Amino acid sequence: MAELFMVEAINDGFHVELARDESVMVMGEDVGRAGGVFRATAGLRERFGESRCVDTPLAEAGILGTAVGLCMAGWRPVCEMQYDAFSYPCLDQLITHVGRYHWRTGGGMEFPLVVRMPYGGCVRAPELHDDSPEAYYVHTPGVKVAIPSTPADAKGLLAAAIRDPDPVVILEPKLIYRTERTEVPEGDHVVPLGKARLAREGSDLTLVAYGAMVPLCERAADALAGDASVEVLDLRTLKPLDEDALLASAAKTGRVVIVQEAPRTAGFGAEIAAILAEKAILDLHGPVLRVTGYDVPYPYWKIEDAYMPSVERVVDAARRLLEF
Amino acid sequence: MAELFMVEAINDGFHVELARDESVMVMGEDVGRAGGVFRATAGLRERFGESRCVDTPLAEAGILGTAVGLCMAGWRPVCEMQYDAFSYPCLDQLITHVGRYHWRTGGGMEFPLVVRMPYGGCVRAPELHDDSPEAYYVHTPGVKVAIPSTPADAKGLLAAAIRDPDPVVILEPKLIYRTERTEVPEGDHVVPLGKARLAREGSDLTLVAYGAMVPLCERAADALAGDASVEVLDLRTLKPLDEDALLASAAKTGRVVIVQEAPRTAGFGAEIAAILAEKAILDLHGPVLRVTGYDVPYPYWKIEDAYMPSVERVVDAARRLLEF
Amino acid sequence: MAIAQDQPDLRRVIDEEREVEGLGEQELIELYRRLVLLRTYDERSLVYHRQGRIGTYAIFWNHEAMQAGSVFALEDRDWVFPSYRESAIGLLRGIPASTILHWWRGHPAGWWNPAEHNVASIAVPIATHVPHAAGLAWGKKLKGEDAVAIAYFGDGATSEGAFHEGANFAAVMGAPLILFCNNNQWAISTPVAAQTRAETLAAKAAGYGMPGIRVDGTDVLAVYEATREAAERARSGGGPTFVEALSYRAAPHATADDPRAYIDMERVERERENECVGRYERYLRRLGVLGDDLVEEVKAEALDVMKRGIAEAEAEPEPDVGLLFEHAYANPPASFERDLAELRRILGGSVG
Amino acid sequence: MAIAQDQPDLRRVIDEEREVEGLGEQELIELYRRLVLLRTYDERSLVYHRQGRIGTYAIFWNHEAMQAGSVFALEDRDWVFPSYRESAIGLLRGIPASTILHWWRGHPAGWWNPAEHNVASIAVPIATHVPHAAGLAWGKKLKGEDAVAIAYFGDGATSEGAFHEGANFAAVMGAPLILFCNNNQWAISTPVAAQTRAETLAAKAAGYGMPGIRVDGTDVLAVYEATREAAERARSGGGPTFVEALSYRAAPHATADDPRAYIDMERVERERENECVGRYERYLRRLGVLGDDLVEEVKAEALDVMKRGIAEAEAEPEPDVGLLFEHAYANPPASFERDLAELRRILGGSVG
Ligand SMILES: Cc1ncc(C[n+]2csc(CCOP(=O)(O)OP(=O)(O)O)c2C)c(N)n1
Ligand SMILES: Cc1ncc(C[n+]2csc(CCOP(=O)(O)OP(=O)(O)O)c2C)c(N)n1
Ligand SMILES: [Mg+2]
Ligand SMILES: [Mg+2]
């Protein structure tokens, strides 16, 4: 197995999937000649030709809208949105069509497209390069949503999304695109959608997270190691959600802290808490806590560290819950 | 006091606000010559002139985008989106700019604009005339969200939104636009944002709702009258949320069922449940239940009654909770 | 200073008493059949609506020439992307009347599989289907299939960003697409003059580097000829064409709309007198290829299609609530079964 | 068949050795000062970035003529809507260099109040500020104020729906707006030929019923002249104008970008030899209004502005985390106080 950065694993995944299936194509802004602003699509245009790795005009709604039509012509397009906040122009196509067209055809046609984007904060960039828009996507019927936290999962979830018959949105935590090289299976590698990963076992408290918040929670678990045995659950797929894994961990530890970068109000963490409040109420030894970004525009980067959930904030919440 | 339908109360509110403040203007598709497809803006163009009640080109993002610029020129634009699902093209402007521009100017400029739209299901219409998109709006920092359930509140919340210095999205439950004429204060009438309304007092169980689900919950409360004393809390403003009223009711009854039309996953009801799971955990006598639309595209209308939360589904959830 | 614009005159055939090369008597009559079928669908639908047998309905009276004329210029392998205004265009591709009536009745039997007829689902939102058509046409080209796509949209739709992005993608990708703009001069209550300052909608074509053609939208032969030209260009690698078909919305926007508030009804009357089906009928009579008997036969035939259609539709049982959970996903989440089971329990197993 | 397009030749002044009526020696030199100020800002910023004193930075080298020339044609009451490519254009309106440097340093002191300088916030997303400019211009007109607005955007931006909707709104409302397109022929790695098939970007103007002007974007006087024309038209009720300023991105898109992968570096070299500041300097020398001493003085002056700017910026204390909760709302929810209190408690009252 090779040791790769997350973004290298994604690129590897693309090479495998485009070689495996001729109907897979990649499209987006600067994915071709430049190989993507993060190099996720590097080498694809050279290897598979410019019609399977397309530099599109600068129009996100046009990218996703034409992708719908490409599906109708038998393609499996993978659309890159250059950054999280630049995916908002495609929300209309996503909500109005991508999530409904299979339904609209009475199941007659499939729309196996993928929308992927680097997302999340703390990268010291100008505004609108740091958003965590997962809640918009998860709330939209007809689309699935995955968020990897390791290079291997980034490759495996991309493969699963490309092979899935339904539209899948993949949010890639750009903060950890190049933080650590870890082992990634070579060639075919699929991580099924809908299966969470127990990043760390524990018995006293569960930290539920996804994306860049997973390694953060692992650090928080280390910090708490002396006082408590902390479990870290990496959801990996937000929709369909691995409810069994969530409820099993809550039943085991009885204490849950949810960690998310996005603003708190109506964020995805609320859904996790709501599921626990409905289905785990008798298992809970205390309140369900959320450590999240604040309900404000993502800040200028000089103060972004204070906006982001930190080890300190997670530890603080965990201690409050343990002492409850 | 006059007795008015909700949509008549909204129209009355417009007449009062445009007469009160010369900087208030109305813009949207068919709001002028036709007075709005639901007649909410009837008579405004004739009375206040075509520059204060503007028929715009057919472009929702253009409507909201130019409204941002109109604010910079000192106007207080009220934008109509013709239907819920046709507001999706303006999500990009809303998330990218409307919610951030005041912040972006370091508080230097205000963006007192209002986006209002008829929303919600059960109106026997073709697809995309029935969505409940509130979660997208509530999750967006920098914007406030209100949803009236009575004619008087529809007028009063509109006035509050127009006078508020921040952007406010108002979702108007079109299902009850013309169901009942009730008393509406004449002239100036403001219902402050951020204050819930106790639609009905009770002691055993709380139904939390907003919009067209409020009268539905009242009917459910009637149906349960024999067996339990049911409280109905009408949130009225989803953001800022009247958390005190929510927690007070939960503390009083210990049992909460949340009712929402929108799909369940990551809907606004999840936020309510999450707040209870964090702040009312010791008050709860049982799980927090949600009765919602399903996680599917809003269906064709022959089966929409089965999609919508019904008195039967609310009563069923309430009984399960009472017997918990 | 205004940019001098190339203004192709409105293309006309009927007024010029021209004949369209390639169209024999048989084709001319087949075209007439199609016009009458659409007209009958529309007029009957209005009746069915008044009778409460279908829901809100978007009237396309006087738009038939644009729809029949353009589809007649295409091959069956070519894809049609209708808006709600072309809701019945599938009739010209073998979609049963009952299916389309179901769509307007809010019945899931109104679903069809676009791949079976090369007719996309009816687009309810404005303009967002234009990129779909561009993508399909581009995708077919990439696969080396010589199918063409046509997207129908209105004058108002040209104001939407989705139209712009779709048109530009089509041009950049050299997609075999026909952008067919039904300029009926109104978007509900908004006149085209409040929609754009362009001298013509076809003037937008230059901004995408594609040809723009203007045609009399109530002249079915002119529409046919213009569409055929655009289709030939598309098929031979010439890329997309913008066709502006000028007509007039001589009926309410939809059954819920009352145009008297905003339209000059006398103008409407004048337009109605010159409506597109009658114009063509008179032309064929002048040519001597159409007589009373055939007219009667064609109209009876069409009426029969509709009577059978509504009867079939009304014979269809009410849909089962289980359909709520079908087709949202090709492979649905486990939660759907639980939700449906609970719903059936509460409904006592039947949808009241 | 392609629609014949009206192709106004690129407007040029310097190459034609013309003089622009209305510009005296003083103005010509003031314009030179502005060019040099922008050039110096840009070149110093690259240095500061390499030194780690500012973050990622969008280079505008060889774009100065478009920015200085157009702003010089406006009144102070006219509104400027810059994109990230015009990040320092506020210098021409009295915004301190330190403020703009703060913006690139990710410091909230980079915020300014647009109303104080009639300069909108720097637009990071592509094209969505075009409707803002249209709305402001329209709103000023409605209030009877004779201010004009100018929106800056690139060639790539013309592909976005937001550009289309904003341009159309401006035309329909007769808004006094200048749509200033910086056609530097690249959108990061995407050449303009992959962005549109239009023969020129100005050809898009006809689709909105507005005039389109093409100008040499590296000729500051041609830009000035064209913008002045557009501003006069706008102010006198003639509505918006689309100005396509043709230039070339002779530097990386931004500090993070490596163009060698996609650009012909020899072409870049040729463009750099003909860069816009030097061109104008040589022109002024030929006219005899500029000599070595003045050149030195102007450059020293500009360098001094930047040195003071960065010094001021670096003297600014790190922002307090309390700013997180400020300005999200004019009247914020109660929860913000609780959140801030908790955050301060955890941070021990200070942001580490
Ligand atoms: C995105 C969107 N916005 C608004 C509407 C509501 N609406 C339905 S039809 C219509 C007018 C369309 O006019 P036009 O494009 O000229 O087509 P026509 O109806 O005249 O055929 C509007 C505004 C919609 N369906 N979709
Ligand atoms: C909506 C949106 N999509 C994508 C981006 C990422 N992006 C930043 S600059 C750029 C290219 C812009 O090219 P152009 O419009 O020609 O302007 P230029 O940079 O050449 O001045 C892109 C794609 C963005 N900022 N906003
Ligand atoms: Mg129309
Ligand atoms: Mg460019």
Where residue B152 falls among pLDDT bands split at 50, 70, 90? very high
- C299 burial (CB, 10 Å; 0-12 / 13-18 / 19+) is middle
Tokens describing residue A112: 């196996």
Q: How far is the CA of D157 from the centre of ligand 2 (A)?
A: 7
Residue D67 has pLDDT above 70, yes or no: yes
Q: What are phi and psi of A187, to 5 degrees?
A: 65, -145
Q: In chain A, which residues have their Cβ closer than 8 Å to the Cβ of D105? A: 302
| Ligand 2 touching residue D257 (CB < 6 A) | no
CB D92 within 8 A of CB D71: yes
User: Cα angle at C110 between C321 and A102, to 5 degrees?
Assistant: 75
Tokens describing residue B117: 């739209």
Distance of residue D307 Cα from the nearest chain B Cα, in angstroms: 25
Question: Mean pLDDT over residues C54-81, rounded?
Answer: 98
| Ligand 1 touching residue B86 (CB < 6 A) | yes
What is the model's pLDDT at position A153? 98
Pairing of β B289-293 and β B256-263: parallel
Contact (CB<8Å) D135/B73: yes
The dihedral built from the CA positions of residue A222, A228, A229 and A234, taken in this order, carries a sign that is negative
User: In chain C, what is the greatest distance between 2 CA atoms, to the nearest angstrom?
Assistant: 72
Mean pLDDT of chain C: 95
pLDDT tens column, C148-181: 999 999 999 999 999 999 999 999 999 999 999 9
pLDDT tens column, D252-298: 999 999 999 999 999 999 999 999 999 999 999 999 999 999 999 99
Residue D78 has pLDDT above 60, yes or no: yes
Q: C-alpha B227: how far from its chain's center?
A: 31
Q: In chain C, which residues have their Cβ closer than 8 Å to the Cβ of D8? A: 3
Where residue C9 falls among pLDDT bands split at 50, 70, 90? confident
Catalytic residue check, D48? no
Per-position pLDDT tens, chain A of length 324: 899 999 999 999 999 999 999 999 999 999 999 999 999 999 999 999 999 999 999 999 999 999 999 999 999 999 999 999 999 999 999 999 999 999 999 999 999 999 999 999 999 999 999 999 999 999 999 999 999 999 999 999 999 999 999 999 999 999 999 999 999 999 999 999 999 999 999 999 999 999 999 999 999 999 999 999 999 999 999 999 999 999 999 999 999 999 999 999 999 999 999 999 999 999 999 999 999 999 999 999 999 999 999 999 999 999 999 999
Tokens describing residue D141: 């007109």
CB C107 within 8 A of CB B302: yes
Residues paired with A229 in a beta bridge? none
Where residue D9 falls among pLDDT bands split at 50, 70, 90? confident
Dist. CA C120–CA C115, nearest whole Å: 8
Dist. CA B169–CA B171, nearest whole Å: 7
Count of alpha carbons within 13 Å of B164, Cβ hemisphere only? Answer: 31
Contact (CB<8Å) A165/C331: yes
What is the model's pLDDT at position C242? 98
pLDDT tens column, B196-236: 999 999 999 999 999 999 999 999 999 999 999 999 999 99
What is the model's pLDDT at position D8? 53
Q: Which chains touch D (3 or more CB pairs under 8 A)?
A: A, B, C
Where residue D1 falls among pLDDT bands split at 50, 70, 90? very low
Element (H, E) at A251: helix A243-253
Q: How far is the CA of C49 from the centre of ligand 1 (A)?
A: 20
Q: In chain B, which residues have their Cβ closer than 8 Å to the Cβ of A262? A: 139
pLDDT tens column, B65-122: 999 999 999 999 999 999 999 999 999 999 999 999 999 999 999 999 999 999 999 9
Q: How many CB atoms lie within 10 A of CB A232?
A: 27
Q: What are phi and psi of D189, to 5 degrees?
A: -100, 5
Catalytic residue check, B129? yes
Q: Which chains touch B (3 or more CB pairs under 8 A)?
A: A, C, D
Helix (H), strand (E) counts: chain C: 11, 7
**Residue A173 region, left (φ>0) first, then alpha (ψ -120 to 50), else beta?**
beta
CB A232 within 8 A of CB A214: yes
Facing B102 at nearest CB: one of D112, D134, D330:
D330
Residue C103 has pLDDT above 90, yes or no: yes
Nearest alpha carbon to residue A105 among C337, C254, C95, C151: C95
Where residue D7 falls among pLDDT bands split at 50, 70, 90? very low
What is the model's pLDDT at position D350? 44
Tokens describing residue C262: 């905003």
Question: Mean pLDDT over residues B30-43, rounded?
Answer: 97
User: Cα angle at C221 between C219 and C225, to 5 degrees?
Assistant: 120
Where residue C278 falls among pLDDT bands split at 50, 70, 90? very high
Residue C345 has pLDDT above 70, yes or no: yes
When scoring C153, C158, C160, C326 by the number of chain B Cβ atoms within 10 A, the one with the most, hence best to mutate, is C160
Length of chain B: 324
What is the model's pLDDT at position B1? 83
Q: In chain A, which residues have their Cβ closer than 8 Å to the Cβ of B91? A: 88, 91-92, 136
Question: Mean pLDDT over residues D110-133, rounded?
Answer: 98
User: Cα angle at D307 between D301 and D313, to 5 degrees?
Assistant: 135
Where residue C75 falls among pLDDT bands split at 50, 70, 90? very high
What is the model's pLDDT at position D234? 98
Residue entry with tokens 């639609």: B199
What is the model's pLDDT at position C8? 53
- List the catalytic residue out of B97, B102, B129, B189: B129
> Which atom of ligand 2 is nearest the CA belonging to A128?
25
Residue C352 has pLDDT above 90, yes or no: no
Question: Mean pLDDT over residues C70-79, rounded?
Answer: 98
Q: Where are the alpha helices (DSSP H) in chain C?
A: 25-50, 64-72, 97-104, 114-117, 130-142, 161-173, 220-233, 265-273, 276-287, 292-315, 335-346
Question: Mean pLDDT over residues D72-101, rounded?
Answer: 98
Dist. CA D256–CA D262, nearest whole Å: 14
Tokens describing residue D322: 């309390």
Q: How many CB atoms lie within 10 A of CB A270?
A: 31
Residue D4 has pLDDT above 60, yes or no: no
Distance of residue C258 Cα from the nearest chain B Cα, in angstroms: 9
CB A76 within 8 A of CB A17: no
| 0.90 surpassed by pTM | yes
All residues at 6 or more sequence positions from C83 whose CB lies less than 8 Å from its CB, including other chains? C122, C123, C126, C129, C152, C153, C154, C157, C182
- List the catalytic residue out of C48, C249, C280, C283: C249
Dist. CA B42–CA B7, nearest whole Å: 10
CA dihedral A215, A216, A221, A222 (to 10 degrees): 80
What is the model's pLDDT at position C7? 39
Residue D236 has pLDDT above 80, yes or no: yes
Given the cut 0.85, state whether the ipTM is greater than it: yes
All residues at 6 or more sequence positions from C12 whose CB lies less than 8 Å from its CB, including other chains? C18, C215, C216, C219, C222
Residues paired with D11 in a beta bridge? D215
Q: What is the 3-state secondary structure (H, E, C) of A288-302?
A: CEEEEECCCCCCCHH
Dist. CA D102–CA D91, nearest whole Å: 13
High-pLDDT (> 70) share of chain B, %: 100
pLDDT tens column, C304-322: 999 999 999 999 999 999 9
Tokens describing residue C144: 């080396």
Residues paired with B231 in a beta bridge? B206
Catalytic residue check, C262? yes
When scoring B24, B72, B193 by the number of chain D Cβ atoms within 10 A, the one with the most, hence best to mutate, is B72
